[in-house]
Amino acid sequence: MVGAIFGPSVWNKLTRLIVAIAFLFKSRSPNWITVKNELIGATRVRVYYPAERKTDSLIIFIHGGGWATMRPGHYDNVIYMLIARLGVLVISIDYRLSPESPYPEPVNECEAVFHRLVNEEYKRFGIDPKRICVMGDSAGGNLSTVVAQRQLRKKLTLPKCQVLIYPVIHSFDLKSPSYQIYYKQLCGTSLLNPRLMARWYLLYLGIPAIPANIEKFLANCHLRRKDSDRLQELISHELLPTEFSEDHSEKQTDSAPDDELCRLFNKNGFNPDFAPILGKDLFGLPPAMIITAGYDILRDEGVLYAKRLQSFNVPVQWNHYPAAYHGVINMPSSMQRNQILDDIVHYLVMNL
């Protein structure tokens, strides 16, 4: 209703306010961590300095929120848990958000931070530039792996590894089995719903996020038939584990493509810097841990990206948590969250 009356920009600002209120009463930082808001180049970062560092490696954390909401401080408790176990320096990127800063600005900012850290700023922070993990959740997972792909294409220093927590990988199928599960079982009960995701896609791509465009996006009207057919080798439901698709893979009939929406989407929608599943020649990409959740509309694309990376001999550890949901790492009392963070720590001990 707010978006329909006041427009998508006001709607998004209201969403940011609601999110900020939810984190107003977060706990103070432990006395064994110093947290500072700093700059790397022109980009704001939040730096977490452990009182006793156990390693000269680094985690670059890139937060989620649909490229449009959330801030590094909303992940403080997640970072504290990682530092408590690993004794590692963490730098969280406070990239600019859409729609004020649409694609590719957040990608460019995150890449610039990584570039400066491996080429000059590593001295400032006392880190080994060859021992950096890029980690992010949701849209931050998207930005993390895009940074890694960009470094590979440019033949520059790569991250040591990447940890992608229920990442956004593509926007080519908003009727996949994980979306169908939402409509059948989770409607109105999930932190991330299809309409919200469609809105964020549009805002990030600089496409008017009006109600009509959101409905068309949900119906896959942003894809021309030839493009949809071409993508099946990467996103077909048949590529998913049988248990993911057996009850929710009935053939979905897409509505007729909308010429104007297709035109707007085609400007950037098929760029691997937006849809990393389209990355080519990914041999040599750093090892990846990919985390998916059972109650998450993004579940299927995470699995498909794991398969895509494996086709290029990229070492992949895919961890699926059937009882988890999108956003679970921000839920302090969740046992699933604790298990996920335990598994991430174990992975980093072995790979970073």
| Res 42: pLDDT | 97
Res. 159 pLDDT band, cuts 50 70 90: very high
Evaluate whether residue 248 is within a structural domain: no
Q: Is the pLDDT of residue 26 over 80?
A: no
Tokens of 32: 């064994």
Domain around 137: 2-172+268-351
Residues 130 and 156: their CA atoms lie apart, in Å, by 11
Residue 117 near residue 56, CB atoms below 8 Å: no
Catalytic residue among 76, 94, 273, 296: 296
Q: How many domains does the chain have?
A: 1
pTM of the model: 0.95
The answer to the question of residue 195 being in a domain is no
Average pLDDT over residues 325-340: 94
In a domain, residue 129? The reply is yes
- Is 7 domain-assigned? yes
Give residue 67's identity as a one-letter amino acid code.
W
**For tokens 């294409």, what's the residue?**
153
Look up 326 and say whether it is catalytic: yes
In a domain, 168, yes or no: yes
The 10s digit of each residue's pLDDT in 167-211 is 999 999 999 999 999 999 988 788 899 999 999 999 999 999 999
Give the CATH number for residue 154: 3.40.50.1820
On whether the CB atoms of residues 114 and 126 are closer than 8 A, the answer is no
Is 213 within the bounds of a domain? Answer: no
Q: Exactly one of 138, 144, 171, 190 is catalytic; which is it?
A: 138
Helix (H) or strand (E) holding 304: helix 299-310
Strands across the sheet containing 43-50 = 33-40, 43-50, 89-93, 58-62, 132-137, 161-165, 288-295, 316-325
Known catalytic membership, residue 320: no
What is the chain's mean pLDDT, rounded? 94
Mark whether 138 is an active-site residue.
yes
Instruction: Indicate whether 10 belongs to any domain.
Output: yes
Instruction: Give me the pLDDT at residue 249, please.
Output: 58
Asked whether residue 47 is assigned to any structural domain, the reply reads yes
Which helix or strand (DSSP H or E) is residue 40 part of? strand 33-40
Q: For the chain, give percent helix, strand, coil, nearest 5.
A: 45, 15, 40
Burial class, 112, CB count within 10 angstroms (exposed 0-12 / middle 13-18 / buried 19+): middle
